[in-house]
A and B are shown apart, each in its own frame.
Chain A
Amino acid sequence: MIKKLTNQDLKALLKELRQEFLVIAPFKVKQGRLMKVLYQPVKNDEQLSSIYLTDQPDASPKEYFLPRDDKLGEETAGADCEPADWQDQPRIFLGVRSCDIAGIELFDDVFIENDYIDPFYQQRRENSIIIGYSCSEKADNSFCQEVGVNPVDNDNVPLMLYQKEEGFFLKINDEDKLKEMGILEKIENLADGTDEDLEALINERQEAFKEDDFTIKSELPFPEKEAFSSVNWEEVTASCLGCGVCTFYCPTCFCFKFFWEDVEKNRAWDSCMFSLFTEHASGHNPRESQEQRWRQRLMHKFSYHPKNYQGEPGCVGCGRCVSKCPVNLDIRKVIAHFENSIVGEGVKGNEG
């Protein structure tokens, strides 16, 4: 089902949704010398006019699912304890782009599927509805299509928003979910759009996302043995300073550490780019140099994650790690270097 909305319709819809939901949307926020686009909860109806959808947000909404600093309750409370910041009010995330949707899907694979359920993640996730947003132009340094993400269209979220010159299309992907959450009834009365009109818009946009200079030629997973034996990681990652910016801004990096404050258990983001990440109690560090940590980051995304999750890449191509890096060390450059290094070996991937 496709609906057609004017700017006013969207605002009215969000106003109505705010009665029952916590709406979280991107806003322009000044942080020191930087003007950033960040997801923030809408605090009042007036703020609805300031929602900023034009550019890719500076950070994905990952901190709303895996907070930077998460209090997990007292050790004795058992597995069913709720997150400390828990709110019963369900959340709607507005304007989430395909790269960040893919990031959340990857989190779902890791935290709520297979053999392991993380109850904190699960509660936050099940309490959230995502309204996707179609990109109209390529974000800086992004390469999403190379990792199988379609920036223009997405069927994996209940609702998908497409901004037009005037107004929006809203595509309904999951009627059951919307009905269950009491959202469908608020949308049903909006004007209908046609499949043809939406398709025309999508096709036109896809033109704008034609191939660029960067392509990933190897199949996933990247071969592990060759990564260790045939690639000069030091040469290509020499400028890395060893900070955690790339991993903290990455929509798919989820590594964390536990720590205790008295009996209260906490979880905070950790980063494979830090030396402490792998340091043993003995003082021995199996990854003692920065290029080994870089190798780990790249291989986790392009070898180990695909190996564990049916070939799915561990990178969504949003480009933030490149743009945010203090020395602009480009993951595309490292991938190209990797591929050039192993090509002499006649390796096509998938043999590690």
Chain B
Amino acid sequence: MRSAATLSRRTLTRLLGATLTACTLPGWGESKSAARTSILNVSYDATRELYEAVNPQFAARWLAQSGVQVAILQSHGGSGVQARAIIAGLAADVATLGSAYDVIQLAQQARLIPANWATRLPDNSAPYTSTVVFLVRRGNPKNIRDWDDLVRPGVQVITPNPKSSSGARVNYLAAWAWAQRRPGGSEATAKRYMQQLYQHVPVLDSGARGSTDTFAERGIGDVLIAWESEALLARKKLGLDRVEIVAPSLSMLAEPPVTVVDQNVDRHGTRAVAQAYLEFLYTPVCQQIIAQNFFRPRDPAVQQQFQALFPAVKLVTIDQAFGGWERAQHVHFEDGGVFDQIYGQ
């Protein structure tokens, strides 16, 4: 009895000691010196690789420019979830989200940024773009060339749920825009087409990476509707020979916007570095990095250089086709909106 008691006390002491040592391991906590600062970039899932490449470049440039060492912290997740986190207090210095709709929420729900945020940087504050393409299996066995091939009998389409994924909203809107603009197309034919399209979707994942997994890892479906950036990245990561990319005759210009989060940078005293960080995205050096990470650059010279990677596609914008994100959101994706009508039936 006595030996057991000693042992238990010793075990407890040891356990406690081990955990305490673990916490005081070197590296825990931040070393604080005068010429150091950090900013938090709250972004969405698809830009992880992009900003991993951008951040060290910017940090080197900022050190040379101002003598201050800047650590850029990253947070990634679903674009809508990330916007809600910023609204709930995630202290983002810059927000680089998937769709303008999510950035608008920062202005409307929490007044973290002014309403004119989109005009503060060039190109609608979107330093890179993407578009919606099809990812098909090697050799394109179902011969998928354009949107109408997706609703042929026996074709299974993978795309995430537009209610939860802002990337999937662009997929949905691209399909709608094509259906409405084809010869003889109207709102009614577009709605009918969308209804057919979503009948061909066996799995509606909540996010883009989930859909890519469903298509590529689990091998479900004949075609994945994806952003070009995601499709190119998946092709690189999963092996060039397993999948092919097909560009439809008409697609949507996706403009993932960036903004400084005014309330947070003023509180942190990081406005200058945060602003410089976003402006850096528009420089030719960074536009190169952007293209290498599969987003379409804005810079014409860099576009020229990467035209083999990004073929010319006829593109419409959300503003042209739907009168802006807020209207599109209201008509199509709110509860009881068009998506609920076509998917419920």
Q: Do A and B bind each other?
A: no
List the interface of chain B (C-beta within 8 A of A).
none
